[in-house]
Structures are given as C-alpha cells and as structure tokens.
Amino acid sequence: MVVKPVVPSGRDIRLDLFRGLALWFIFLDHVPTVMNWLTVRNYGFSDATEIFVFISGYTAVIAYSGMMLREGWLRAAARIWRRVWQLYVAHILLFVVYTAEIAYVSIATDTSSVIEEFAMMGLGENPFQAMMQAALLNFRPANLDVLPLYILLLAVFPFVLPVIIRWPLAVIAASLALYIPTLHYDWNLTAYPPDKGVWFFNPLAWQIVFHIGAACAVLGPRLKSLDRFRTTLTVLAVIYLLFGFLMTMSFEFNALAERIPPWVNRLIYPMDKTNIAPMRVVHFLAFAWLVRVLVPFNAPFLRWRILEPVRRCGEHSLLIFCIGTFLALTAQTAIRYFEESILSQIVVSTAGIVAMCVAAYVATWFKSGGSAGPGRSTAEVAT
C-alpha cells in the first residue's frame, strides 16, 4: 500500500518557529557568553543541532515528495540536486569569508592562537591541499560542520525519497541498521588535516535524526495512533527530560553532582555528539513528543507578532545560518576586546540576534517582490 506524504495546506509555521529558534541557539552556542543559558544545550542531552537536522528531513519530504508524485522521480531528483548545489556554493562562499575573517582577526590582534583555535592550521601548512579538501567538504574550520552534514544528507535523499513515501517505517529500520553498527564499529568519514581525524557530525550516525524527521512528515495523521498511549508517553517523556536536566545541571552545581551515584555517570557518559549517542536521540524524541502534544498545528500563539522575528529567521534558514556563523566569530572578537565583561556579552549577543532578524526581514522583503519560481514550494525555499 502506498502511503502518500502529508503536505499541509499552507505553511506549517511550527517548522519556521522551531528552526528559527534552532538558528538563534546555534549562534549563541558558538559565542561563549552568559546568553548561552538561554539555549537548550544547557538543559538536557540534545541541543539545537538535532532540531535543525530533524526539521531539515521533515521539510525535504514536504518540498519534494509532491513533485515526485506529479512529475516523476527524475524531476524531483534534479530539483533536490540543484538545491544541494546551492547549499554547496553557500558553504564554499562561507568558508572563504570565514577564513578571511579568521586571518584578519589573527593579524589585527597579533594572536596566532586564533588560527589554531578555529582549526585552521591545515591551511597554513599546506594551502593547496587544504583548498582541495575544503572543496571536498573534508576541511572545515570550527563551527562550519553543520552545513556539510546537511549537504551530504540531502545529496543522498533522492534515493531515499521514493522509498520513504511508500514505506517510511522500512526507512527508519534501514536507518537504524546503519546507525547501530556505526556506533559499534565507530564508522565515520575522514577529515583534513589527518590529525583532525573524522567529521565532527558523523553523517552515518546523524542520518537517523534526518530520516526520522522525513518519516514523520510522511506518516502524518498515522501518528495519531500513538494517542492511545498519550498519557503514558507524555509522562515518560517528562521524566526523561527531567533526568537529562538534572544530569546536565550536575556539571554546574557540585551539591547536585555529589548526589548522583557514580554508576549513573559511568552509564551515560561520555555523551558523544559526533556519533549522536542514543541518549541524545531519545532526549530529542521526548522533546519532539511534548511539542506535538503541547503545540498543535493551529495553535494561536504561533502567529503572535512577538514571535514573528523567529519565524522569519526560520523561513530563510540558509541565509540566517551563514550570517549567524560569520557573526559568531565577530561576536567572540568583540567580547574579547571588551575583556569579556558581562555587559559586552549581553550587548554583542543581542546585536547578533538583531542582525540576523534584520537580514531575515530584508530577505522577506526581496522575496515579496517576486515569487518562489515555477514549481518551487515555500518549503523548498526554506530547506
């Protein structure tokens, strides 16, 4: 039996809202300030990266499944790979600008340690090899790891799409069949320089979050079958999120850390982010379940004017991600200039968020002057 994907009539602004929040959180997490306490990273096992990757998988189905059913696999695959090319060009441009910014900061402040801090030593040691590896997505300065992960996952997606719209549970099973041995045998892709080892976000592991997101878009109303266990699942999700909160807080408060049995720490740590440890996946799924329960598709607060800047950022995720990455390094430099004062941390972080919002509104203004193009959905524009 063919399971057709559920494509909402109109834009699901929950996706824009939470993707916008994820982009804000990614920016703040890259700037070590007191503002980090506003992000989800400090309150549980998972963080904004899981949100971003999950929504990317979800919106990929919305953007391209309808086209495949109407116009065939080849047309949809061509559209996906065109988007992959756009993402690749954006990454290369971001790499060049980011590298130039790091070099400028290093020269202006006369601190060569900046180059090492942002994993740029390979460029100075062998620039031609480094540039070739950058083109292959293997050489990435610090904070430039998310976009290559998304590029690779989306590049493979044309081969997943025709399967997932018919057998979404089979795709999740196949995804688990890759994820489990990846954890056991520590499979990963090599990175440059060789001493850096492997990709920071292992695509062989992180694909599980992307494909769960894609499967959820296909299953749609069928997920309501879980509502018979709604109370039980909600209680379990709350308990697990509280457990993650307490374990995370134990790193900040010694009194709490002393009350946690050593065997518990041995059981759950290290909480591997490169291979996205199972407890991170479960933590995100618990969070996603509560969002499903508490934030319905037509929740009135989603359209509150005060949340519009977040939604606008989510609508233009590629642009805002690139700007946020660039601004993160700028913010770190500014904070160091002001000797890491609390005031400078708050002002610089807030200014970065404001700049991202302004860019999102400008992009919306430009977009309103034309159209998304023939056959191009708003979901595709934002993926």
Report residue 222 CA to chain centroid gap. Answer: 26
Question: What's phi and psi for 188, nearest 5 deg?
Answer: -165, 170
Q: Which amino acid is at 333?
A: T
User: Do the domain assignments include residue 149?
Assistant: yes
CB 164, CB 211: distance < 8 Å:
yes
State residue 380's pLDDT score.
56
State residue 382's pLDDT score.
55
User: Do the domain assignments include residue 8?
Assistant: no
User: Do the domain assignments include residue 1?
Assistant: no
Q: pLDDT digit of tens for each residue in the chain (383 aa)? A: 444 544 434 468 999 999 999 999 999 999 988 998 999 999 999 999 999 999 999 999 999 999 999 999 999 999 999 999 999 999 999 999 999 888 888 887 777 777 777 777 777 778 888 899 999 999 988 889 999 999 999 999 999 999 999 999 999 999 999 999 999 999 999 998 877 689 999 999 999 999 999 999 999 878 888 889 999 999 999 999 999 999 999 988 888 888 888 888 888 888 899 999 999 999 999 999 999 999 988 899 999 999 999 999 999 999 999 999 999 989 988 888 787 889 999 999 999 999 999 999 999 999 887 544 444 444 555 56
State residue 11's pLDDT score.
67
State residue 374's pLDDT score.
44
Tokens coding 228: 């018979």
State residue 103's pLDDT score.
86
State residue 95's pLDDT score.
93
Q: pTM here?
A: 0.92
State residue 208's pLDDT score.
98
Indicate the number of domains in the chain: 1
| Distance between CA atoms of residues 277 and 281, nearest Å | 7
Range(s) of the domain holding residue 333: 15-382
Count other Cβ atoms within 10 Å, centred on residue 270.
7
| Distance between CA atoms of residues 214 and 216, nearest Å | 5
User: Do the domain assignments include residue 2?
Assistant: no
User: Do the domain assignments include residue 301?
Assistant: yes
State residue 8's pLDDT score.
39
Report residue 373 CA to chain centroid gap. Answer: 26
Tokens coding 4: 């057709």
User: Do the domain assignments include residue 367?
Assistant: yes
Tokens coding 334: 């500014």
Q: What HEC string does the chain produce? A: CCCCCCCCCCCCHHHHHHHHHHHHHHHHHCCCCHHHHHCHHHHCCCCHHHHHHHHHHHHHHHHHHHHHHHHCHHHHHHHHHHHHHHHHHHHHHHHHHHHHHHHHHHHHHCCCHHHHHCCCHHHHHCHHHHHHHHHCCCCCCCCCCHHHHHHHHHHHHHHHHHHHCCCHHHHHHHHHHHHHHHHHHCCCCECCCHHHCECCCCHHHHHHHHHHHHHHHHHHHHHHHHHHHHHHHHHHHHHHHHHHHHHHHCCCCHHHHCCCCHHHHHHHCCCCCCCCCHHHHHHHHHHHHHHHHHCCCCCHHHHCHHHHHHHHHHHCHHHHHHHHHHHHHHHHHHHHHCCCCHHHHHHHHHHHHHHHHHHHHHHHHHHHCCCCCCCCCHHHHHC
- Cα–Cα distances in Å, from 320 out to 18, 326, 363? 14, 10, 10
User: Do the domain assignments include residue 199?
Assistant: yes
CB 168, CB 215: distance < 8 Å:
yes
User: Do the domain assignments include residue 255?
Assistant: yes
State residue 371's pLDDT score.
46
